[in-house]
Structure 1
Amino acid sequence: MIDTDRITGAAKELGGKVQGAVGDLTGSRRDSAEGRLREAGGQAENLYGQAKDAVRHAADEAHDYAEDAYDRGRHYLREGHDRSAEWPHASLVVAGLVGFGLGLLVSKL
């Protein structure tokens, strides 16, 4: 979805170009200057809209990535739980090794 600032900015930029060109053709410095000012304002608004679109796109990408990571983690947790139920002795050994390792780390501090 395109941001409305991009659309209005592009319209203002085009209007400013036309006004500046008309001012140049008629020799009106005021119209020429106002046109250039409107054109610059339109460019700035267009760039602002593009930045908002880029941030929105990045946020959507991050959300999708986080959702995928959550789903993978839930799958691995379920798979680990199922395997630990199949081999309860192995689970006890792993838990004991983790506890022993943590005890060694804490005792060294």
Structure 2
Amino acid sequence: MVDSDRITGAARELGGKAQAALGDLAGDQRTQFEGRYREAQGRGEQLAGEARDALRDAADTAIEYAEDAYDRGRHAARHGARTVTHYVEETPLLALLIAGAVGYGLSLLVHGRR
């Protein structure tokens, strides 16, 4: 998507060049100055539009990366949950012992040894 400042800036720059050229031909310094001023103003608008376009593109790319990371994380969490469920179903006694050991370790961390 092209920013409208790029279009108006290009038109203003072109008009400024034409005005400066007319000032050069006529020998009118005021027209030359105004033309060059409009040309610089148009170039500034173009640069601002280009910067906005670049920021918009960067934001779109960042959103795409975030969506991709979210999808990958969701897939990994689902896969992990299925894997844990499978191992718990296959060896319930071992899973119970591991859960008890983790619970005991957490209680030591929270309450400390007394």
Asked whether the two chains share a fold, i.e. TM above 0.5, the reply is yes
Counterpart for residue 84 of structure 2: 84
Any unmatched runs of 5+ in structure 1? none
Give 1:49 shift.
Answer: 0.3
Rounded to whole Å, the distance in 2 between the matches of 1:8 and 1:98 is 67
Give RMSD over aligned pairs.
2.5
Q: Percent identical across equivalent pairs?
A: 51
Write the deviation string for residues 8-52 of structure 1: whole angstroms up to 9, x where unpaired.
001101110110011001111111010000001001111100110
Q: TM-score, normalised by structure 2?
A: 0.80
CA separation of 1:7 and 1:22: change in aligned 2, threshold 3 A: same
TM-score, structure 1 normalization: 0.84
Alpha-carbon shift at residue 58 of structure 1 (Å): 0.4
Name the CA distance, whole Å, in 1 between partners of 2:99 and 2:6: 57
For these two proteins, the number of residue pairs brought into alignment is 107
Give the 3 Å change call, closer, same or farther, for CA 99–52 of structure 1 in structure 2: farther
Q: Displacement of 1:100 after TM fit?
A: 3.5
**Structure 1 residue aligned with 2:70:** 70
| Structure 2: gaps (5+ residues) | none
